[in-house]
Structure 1
Amino acid sequence: MNIVFMGTPDFAVPVLEMLLQEGYPVTAVVSQPDRPKGRKKVLTPPPVKEAALRHGLPVLQPERIRRSEAVEAIAGLQPDLIVTAAYGQIVPKAILELPKHGCINVHASLLPKYRGGAPIQHAILNGEAVTGVTIMYMAEGLDTGDMLAKVEVPITDEDTGGTLFDKLSEAGADLLRRTLPDLLVGKLTAVPQAHEEATLAPNIKREDEWIRWERPAMELFNQIRGLNPHPGAFTTWNGDVLKIWAARKPKPASVPQGAVPGTVIGTGDDYIEVATGDGALRVTELQPAGKKAMSAAQLLRGTSVPAGTVLGERADAGTDGRR
């Protein structure tokens, strides 16, 4: 049996590693092309490619999976099963019809909720208490295929996009390990999705990163942790971008009369308290323009942030610093 694996980011690496550890015959890997990364724009291979090369597996990196040359190359591998995990492109029907065991996908949500490219971030952004992983047959639509298996994963108040990414990655690999044996002998019955209940989780855009202080404090808390470590939520301070990397879960707080959202209303040993649409949020980790991320305590030791300082006065801020 020939298995072709398709994936790109770190999320997909444990799935590939599981297949190899369990002795499944992965004959080739398909991943996105190498991309420039970092301030110096160094051409960098995706994590799945790096993992595949460590195991001596051939790697295909078509710019567009729909192009005829890409379809022909994958057809030439004669796959009996295609396994995908966060590949990053919609796979065309011509490829979906190749393997006799079908094409299955490891998706980081409890479908039909959060179809799309950023289900992990959106689950936190929306304040979900539970998310999970779904293994499904791939179809021509965006994450619309029939479902084979699911597993739930709780979301805690301490979770960030990064920690939940890791949890779901491991949960997906384990779920696939338990699902594949029954799938390959025909013991599983696929269940259609309730399409009327579907929600979307599109890729994060720049506007999603902008902190609108007039929103409720809990929504801002979820935004900040959901976008950590990438791409990060940001506001402005003295006209420059200010990344906000962490904040405390908000509690009921009194706000001085007349303080507009975004106003610093006080500081503590390790936080900066900012007025929001319904109270206040205590920021604990941040990154001024041109500097590395730091705790609020570190910033306050060298910089005065007096009460009355207003954050977010320029919504058109441009390039920001990254971790």
Structure 2
Amino acid sequence: MRIVFMGTPDFAVPSLRALVNHGYEVVGVFTQPDRPAGRGKKLKPSPVKSAAEELNLPIFQPVKLKTAEEIQRLRELSPDCIIVVAYGQLLSKEILDLPPQGCINVHASLLPAYRGAAPIHWALIRGETRTGVTTMQMDEGLDTGDILLTRDVPISEEETMGEVHDKLASLGGDVLIATLRELEKGTLRSVPQTGESNYAPLLKREHEQLNWTSGAVELHRQIRGLNPWPGAFTVFRGENLKVWRSTVFPSEKNQVTEKAAPEDCIPSSGQILAVSGDGLLVQTGNGTLWLLEVQPAGKRPMSARDFFNGRHGQLGEQFS
């Protein structure tokens, strides 16, 4: 089977490698143009481009895929199927109709849940306990095509977005190959999406700041859901502070703290109540959050305790 592969970020790389490892003829890899990165703003290739170069595959990086020139290029490649994994550009109906076996998308959610650009982030932020991978027969809508195969996995209470991402990226390659095997055997069946759907929009700066009037559970989910990118942050003494790790502090009173605010203190949201272990106990709108790892601007990640001591922090100070 002749395959054109379209993808850009790390998530797509295991799917591309799976195609090559299982003997599929990848006749072209389409990925986004190189982007400036780092302080020097040097052009950096996408992870998919780097993988395609390693695999000696033909690479195409159109700024826009919908032009007549790119559509003609696709016709000349004559793919039996187009595989799309987090490519970053929408496909026109002309492209969707071009390959005899259609266009198949690998999506990092259990559709119709979490359609859109950031399904893994939002699954964690919203407290899902399961997620997965769906292969889908693409149509003109945004992740609305018929479902081909799904595989689900649990999400633990402490897993980060990065950990779930890597698990789903690997699973995506497996589900893609299973989908193509059934397609080749003629046993693949598509099922229209049914049930309640929701949307996983691109993350904005407003999604990254911790609002301490929220509950400890919600804040912990937000921190996990934004680790390792783009990172949740709070403000301490007027400076932004990334927060990488936390846990919800148990309500039981048998936890020993090394240094704590007076018992008659009435805490407010964002107030630092105690130093405990390597972390700081912080009051939220509902419960206490244990901050464990933070990163000041221009510094490396460190324990929250080391940060607090390095700043000569005082109990009762607040994050905002």
**1:299: Cα distance to partner?**
2.2
> 2:297: which partner in 1?
289
**1:104: Cα distance to partner?**
0.2
> 1:122: which partner in 2?
122
> 1:263: which partner in 2?
271
> 2:2: which partner in 1?
2
> 1:315: which partner in 2?
none
* Structure 1 residues 250 and 73, CA gap change in structure 2 (3 angstroms): farther
> 2:52: which partner in 1?
52
> 1:41: which partner in 2?
41
> 2:104: which partner in 1?
104
Identity of aligned residues (%): 49
* Matched pairs, number: 311
> 1:73: which partner in 2?
73
> 1:32: which partner in 2?
32
**1:202: Cα distance to partner?**
0.8
> 2:257: which partner in 1?
none
C-alpha separation in 2, matches of 1:216 and 1:68:
52
Q: Which moved more, 1:85-94 or 1:69-78?
A: 69-78
**1:184: Cα distance to partner?**
2.2
Is contact 1:75-1:95 (8 Å) kept? no
C-alpha separation in 2, matches of 1:210 and 1:39:
24
C-alpha separation in 1, matches of 2:286 and 2:73:
56
1:275 has 2:274 as partner: no
Is contact 2:275-2:305 (8 Å) kept? no
> 2:86: which partner in 1?
86
> 1:228: which partner in 2?
227
Normalised to the residue count of structure 2, the TM-score between the two structures is 0.93
SS at match of 2:43: strand
C-alpha separation in 2, matches of 1:237 and 1:251:
24
Is contact 2:293-2:302 (8 Å) kept? yes
C-alpha separation in 1, matches of 2:13 and 2:100:
24
1:303 has 2:303 as partner: no
Q: How does 1:193-232 map to 2 (within 5 A)?
A: 193-194=193-194, 197-232=196-231
Is contact 1:130-1:153 (8 Å) kept? yes
Is contact 1:218-1:250 (8 Å) kept? no
C-alpha separation in 2, matches of 1:71 and 1:253:
63
Is contact 2:86-2:107 (8 Å) kept? yes
C-alpha separation in 1, matches of 2:211 and 2:68:
45
Is contact 1:65-1:71 (8 Å) kept? yes
- What residue identity is the alignment partner of 1:206? R
**How big is each residue's C-alpha offset from its partner over 1:131-165, in whole Å with a ceiling of 9 and x where there is no partner?**
00000101111000001000001101221010000
**1:79: Cα distance to partner?**
1.1
CA RMSD, Structure 1 to Structure 2 (Å): 1.5
**1:300: Cα distance to partner?**
4.1
* Structure 1 residues 103 and 9, CA gap change in structure 2 (3 angstroms): same
SS at match of 2:131: strand
**1:248: Cα distance to partner?**
1.4
SS at match of 2:77: coil
C-alpha separation in 2, matches of 1:96 and 1:227:
33
Normalised to the residue count of structure 1, the TM-score between the two structures is 0.93
Q: Which has the larger share of strand? A: 2
C-alpha separation in 2, matches of 1:259 and 1:66:
57
Is contact 2:249-2:281 (8 Å) kept? no
- What residue identity is the alignment partner of 1:187? T
> 1:189: which partner in 2?
189
- What residue identity is the alignment partner of 1:208? H
> 1:317: which partner in 2?
none
SS at match of 1:173: helix
* Structure 1 residues 253 and 62, CA gap change in structure 2 (3 angstroms): farther
- What residue identity is the alignment partner of 1:236? V
- What residue identity is the alignment partner of 1:169? A
**1:92: Cα distance to partner?**
1.2
**How big is each residue's C-alpha offset from its partner over 1:201-254, in whole Å with a ceiling of 9 and x where there is no partner?**
011111000100000110000000110000000111111111101101342278
* Structure 1 residues 184 and 135, CA gap change in structure 2 (3 angstroms): same
Q: Which moved more, 1:136-145 or 1:75-84?
A: 75-84
SS at match of 2:199: coil
Is contact 1:136-1:149 (8 Å) kept? yes
SS at match of 2:39: coil
1:170 has 2:178 as partner: no
**1:122: Cα distance to partner?**
0.4
- What residue identity is the alignment partner of 2:118? A
C-alpha separation in 1, matches of 2:69 and 2:280:
55
Q: Which moved more, 1:109-118 or 1:302-311?
A: 302-311
SS at match of 1:75: helix
